[in-house]
């Protein structure tokens, strides 16, 4: 486990993609909570985990080592005193910053998914474009070399070749919030199995191995000293390699 910072009160880690954060009825053992309790002897609720990241999301995650620190940090999240920044590669072209304000709740038809619902919980996400990207002609032809001319023209007509790297700042902390909000505004995250659509997901997986969503930066007040801290986790190699395929 890659530790970015730690002292006697807290630990900040760079969570790898594929690691489940919390124990559940369907996931017991091999979770971050198990690792923290067994290997780091953090005998707090949820192993001291202050907030959560989806299984396939990588990046900065905050862990408390004492009960006092846990309560302090949880209160900061609840009162929106923290600063969270994510990086997401999305489909389509976005050139202006914006804010998505849409309540989020479980999809009534597919309970494992979430959607924007009027009766859902308040959710707000700010976003700003970092750059627009597309495949080079050679990379496009190489990645999809098994498709015929008709299929290739179809990809071009649906603008599959257009992407935007977004900086996202969730002001609330709903499950799948960034993924649901970006889908809602027509810019689903690349390789998002739940929200991008089955056909697009199969195309994405040819060149991007997993969900292109990374928790890049987290800011908070130290629970003991009160000092403002900002910790950063660089974009991992697998997502850098996917981005390198684009211009």
What residues are annotated to the active site?
54
Q: What is the Cα 153 distance to its own chain's centre?
A: 31
**Pair type for strands 213-221 and 124-133:** unpaired
C-alpha–C-alpha distance, residues 204 and 226, integer Å: 43
Tokens of 4: 């970015």
The token duo for 185 is: 């505004």
DSSP string, 75-112: HHHHTT-SEEEEEEEEES---S-EEEE--EEE-SS-TT
Closest CA to 165 of 236, 92, 215, 234: 92
């Amino acid at each position: 486990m890659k530790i970015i910072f730690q002292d006697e009160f807290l630990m900040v880690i760079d969570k790898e993609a594929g690691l489940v954060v919390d124990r559940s009825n369907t996931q017991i053992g091999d979770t971050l909570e198990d690792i923290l309790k067994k290997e780091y002897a953090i005998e707090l609720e949820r192993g001291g985990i202050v907030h959560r990241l989806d299984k396939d999301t990588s990046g900065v995650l905050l862990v408390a080592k004492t009960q006092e620190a846990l309560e302090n940090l949880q209160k900061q999240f609840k009162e929106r005193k923290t600063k969270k920044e994510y990086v997401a590669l999305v489909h389509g072209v976005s050139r202006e910053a914006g804010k998505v304000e849409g309540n989020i709740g479980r999809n009534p038809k597919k309970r494992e998914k979430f959607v924007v619902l009027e009766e859902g919980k308040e959710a707000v996400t700010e976003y700003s474009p970092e750059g627009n990207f597309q495949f080079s002609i050679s990379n496009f032809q190489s990645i999809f070399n098994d498709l015929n001319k008709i299929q290739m023209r179809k990809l071009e007509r649906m603008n599959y070749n257009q992407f935007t790297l977004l900086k996202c700042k969730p002001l609330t902390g709903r499950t799948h919030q960034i993924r649901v909000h970006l889908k809602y505004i027509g810019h689903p995250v690349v390789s998002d199995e739940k929200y991008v659509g089955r056909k697009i997901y199969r195309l994405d997986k040819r060149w991007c191995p997993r969900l292109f969503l990374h928790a890049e930066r987290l800011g908070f007040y130290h629970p003991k000293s009160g000092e403002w801290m900002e910790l950063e986790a660089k974009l991992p190699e697998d997502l850098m390699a996917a981005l390198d395929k684009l211009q």
